[in-house]
Chain A
Amino acid sequence: FSLSENAESAELQRLIAVEQQKAQFQAQVHNFTDVCWDKCVDKPSSKLDSRTEICLVSCVERFIDTTLTITNRFTQMVQKGAH
């Protein structure tokens, strides 16, 4: 590989990593929307009312909090030697 080919390859890797990160974000949004739609949306209406909007936002926040809680507690359990 020439010097310029190495640089181009590194740049390509960096750009792809950026796109992968964006794609991961999108994938998470799909997951959250799936779960939170069931929790928050009752009947499809002509507009998302503010109650539903607030529920969706809270749902995302609490889901992330739940993930963190579970991760932390599980880590503690493993460190204490539990299975």
Chain B
Amino acid sequence: QEGFGSDFSSGASSGKMDTGTIMEQVKVQIAVANAQELLQRMTDKCFKKCIGKPGSTLDNSEQKCIAMCMDRYMDAWNTVSRAYNSRLQRERARI
């Protein structure tokens, strides 16, 4: 399997790529984009929460704060995901 950035053209030139292979690539690319989005937002939030006045390095307390912040952000993400899913189910049940 090639890297995350591979496109579908190699399959098209040889005639046909099967549905399974295409869907594998689609899912991987979506997953990668999702992870990138998570990291970008997490970095923004945790920098704001953990780094006061930027020094010449990240000190120990800042490192610890970042690690905890990452875990809490992912916990929050999961909580939000469950809450959103519940709401969607509830709305669908009304239709």
Residue pair B19, A15 in contact (C-beta under 8 Å): yes
Residues on B with beta carbons closer than 8 Å to the beta carbon of A64: 87
| B35-50 vs A, Cβ < 8 Å mask (1 yes, 0 no) | 0011001000110011
Closest residue of chain B to A46 (Cβ to Cβ) is B68
Residue of A nearest to B38 (CB): A30
CB atoms of B84 and A41 under 8 A apart: no
Would you call A61 and B19 a contact (CB within 8 A)? Answer: no
- In the complex the two chains form, is B75's CB within 8 Å of A48's CB? yes
Can you sample 10 A-B contacts with CB below 8 Å?
A: A19-B26, A30-B41, A32-B80, A34-B41, A41-B76, A44-B49, A44-B69, A52-B76, A60-B80, A61-B83
**B interface residues (Cβ-Cβ under 8 A, vs A):** 19, 22-23, 26-27, 30, 33-34, 37-38, 41, 45-46, 49-50, 65, 68-69, 72-73, 75-77, 79-81, 83-85, 87-88
Contact yes or no, A33 B41, CB < 8 A: yes
Asked whether A27 is an interface residue with its Cβ less than 8 Å from the other chain, the reply is: yes
Contact: B81 with A44, CB < 8 Å? Answer: no
Distance of A22 from chain B, by nearest CB (Å): 7
Task: Across the interface, name the chain B residue whose C-beta is closest to A52.
Answer: B76
